[in-house]
Structure 1
């Protein structure tokens, strides 16, 4: 009989790279990303799925990686904040939404930033020409204690406007 706590292999494509880790059935995707794959941009805040700091994309959909088991991602594509920047030789080039966050000073402590970036990217991909109110609604599942949200919304608004102009 198989031990339920015995680690088993899980394979996923993370930020375009095939990765394999050995995890127990109860290991969360957040813990697998952070501890097994050493991708520490995904932050753990509440560990109850409330704050949104751990948001990643699983097959293109935003999920709370603290509530998602690593075994649920077996065979899936996972995108983390580390995958947003493009590589230009040895230099990382920020994603346009990361640029907007920087320009609007949409981060202070930075703890929530990765979750907001992932939620913002998918929101704008799904709805390129969102109103300010719709952006607030789409980001409402993420919590920030530092910025007062206005700079975050401003950054996503500008990114959304630029995306809709180029489509």
Structure 2
């Protein structure tokens, strides 16, 4: 049997027999000690576990770990490496800080990952585009307005020449 691998935040990891029986979220949090993706509902409905699989936002709690063999996973911890300015937060992360768009922070992983995915596809979204993109992510603290402002701020900053 050929050994399976997954690339997480640009680092290659072997999928062992143990990890082949778990979901991607368990692999990331328990085996790789990455705490960006959160366990929320376990059903793929709340968005707190959102990661990118080959650049596409996906819910890690419902993806079998063996289902991502040979694929590239990006977590919240890996976003800064995708930005041109090494050592800095990704512009979406920085905009969330600047706009004070977090209260409890539990939804933050999903909101940031979905927002960054949106801006990768659509660098100049409208407020309606942002609302639509984030509509599947649950936030119980009521920071929706700040979150939307943060995404629009990130879009503005990312559109400016550096």
Q: Answer whether TM exceeds 0.5 for this pair.
A: yes
CA distance in 2, matches of 1:9, 1:105: 44
Q: Which runs of no fewer than 5 residues in structure 1 stay unpaired?
A: 1-7
CA distance in 2, matches of 1:46, 1:156: 24
CA distance in 2, matches of 1:114, 1:9: 30
Cα displacement string for residues 12-65 of structure 1 (whole angstroms, at most 9, x for unaligned residues): 111111112323544100001111111121101000111000000000111100
C-alpha displacement at 1:85, in angstroms?
Answer: 2.5
CA distance in 1, matches of 2:90, 2:40: 24
Out of 151, 155, 159, the position equivalent to 2:154 is 159
Q: Does 1:76 align with 2:65?
A: no
Q: Does 1:46 align with 2:47?
A: no
Q: Which runs of no fewer than 5 residues in structure 2 stay unpaired?
A: none
Out of 7, 16, 19, the position equivalent to 2:10 is 16
Is the deviation greater in 18-27 or in 63-72? 18-27
- Structure number with the higher strand fraction is 1
Out of 56, 60, 66, the position equivalent to 2:55 is 60
Give the count of matched residue pairs.
157
> TM-score when scaled to structure 2?
0.89
CA distance in 2, matches of 1:25, 1:34: 15
> TM-score when scaled to structure 1?
0.87
CA distance in 1, matches of 2:143, 2:34: 28
Instruction: Kindly name which structure, 1 or 2, has the bigger radius of gyration based on alpha carbons.
Output: 1
CA distance in 2, matches of 1:148, 1:46: 20
Q: Does 1:27 align with 2:22?
A: yes
CA distance in 2, matches of 1:115, 1:101: 12
Cα displacement string for residues 127-158 of structure 1 (whole angstroms, at most 9, x for unaligned residues): 11110011100111111111330000000011
Q: Verify the 8 A CA contact 1:21 1:36 in the aligned structure 2.
A: no
